[in-house]
A = this chain, B = another copy of it.
Amino acid sequence: MHSFEELSRDFAAHFQQAHFPDQPQSLYAPADYFLSLGGKRVRPVCALMGNELFDTINPDTWQVATAIELFHNFTLIHDDIMDKAPLRRGMETVHIKYGEPTALLAGDVMLVVAYDYLNKVKSEHFHRIIRLFNNTAKQVCEGQQIDMDFEKSEHVGMDAYLNMIELKTSVLLAASLKMGAILGGAGEGNQQHIYQFGRNLGIAFQVQDDYLDCFGDPEKFGKQVGGDILANKKTFLLIKALESCNESHTQELKELMRSADPGKVEKVLSIYRQCGVDDWARQLKEKYINDALYHLDEIAVVSKRKEPLRLLAEFLVKREY
């Protein structure tokens, strides 16, 4: 049994290998560049932890974890194109540095290489792993499309938003844990519980992300508070406020969204506080954490084995930065 930190270090070392051919450099250097920007590698480490919950790590799980991380990076490269994002982790995005056509292709080839790693899986569960991987990949694409649809739509309901977050963010976390669990020999029931653990944890994480952007301590959060508000981004808090505040607050919110008022962030936060959206968000996060922990509890292995995942859950959703 290893902690998240230990597996994270091991995975980082493992992931250092060359993933692409040398030539043509004009295609593969951009792909390597993006991977060199780093990241927390949470999803592949979840695959390793999902495996270790049940058994020592199956060599196949390293392949699957590598495929998951490449898939995740493929989605980031393409999302950055779609969102016209100039920066990722403080560095130029691939399309800014190398142009959109090359960024598009570098993403494509990264997805193909992810399948190269999956193809190395020797387990009898091979087809099941690919099926889960593919279904998850489709869901992530669907989530991104729905997110883009939301940008253009005036009204987005809470259920629709939650569904989008689930697709875009939490299914990959859930599936990573489940793929590890499958390769660790977990039975059907345990597979479902670990998937639900990841799914709920992913949503709690996003609720927290939205909350900290509004009410986080800027010192600990590491970025300016109110970024989502300035970008008029739909978040759990905004959608809840628009659904539950009284009419005068709702009107004021809508006007603020159209304005360039220099006090916009403070005014929106004040409405959120008056409507109790801050309390609501904290409770919502607690609900999803509790749901996640319920499913972790239900997994039929000795408690001691669950400790690393419990600590990970705490780490992910109790952070203030």
Contact = CB atoms under 8 A, between A and B. Distances in A.
A116 B138 CA distance: 10
B119 A134 contact: yes
B27 A145 contact: yes
A130 B115 contact: yes
A113 interface: yes
A145 B104 contact: no
Interface string A105-116: 101110111011
A276 to B, nearest CB: 32
A137 interface: yes
B141 A78 contact: no
A146 interface: yes
Given A108-B78, A109-B138, A113-B138, A131 B119 contact: yes
> Number of copies of this chain in the oligomer?
2
Interface in A66-82: 78, 81-82
A146 B78 contact: no
Nearest to A167: B24
A246 to B, nearest CB: 33
A127 B121 CA distance: 9
A138 B111 contact: no
A137 B107 CA distance: 13
A100 B101 CA distance: 11
Contacts of A100: 82
A142 interface: yes
B109 A82 contact: no
Contacts of A107: 108
Interface in A87-124: 100-102, 104-105, 107-109, 111-113, 115-116, 119
Nearest to A129: B119
Interface in A165-189: none
B138 A21 contact: yes
B26 A105 contact: no
Interface in A1-60: 21, 23-24, 26-27
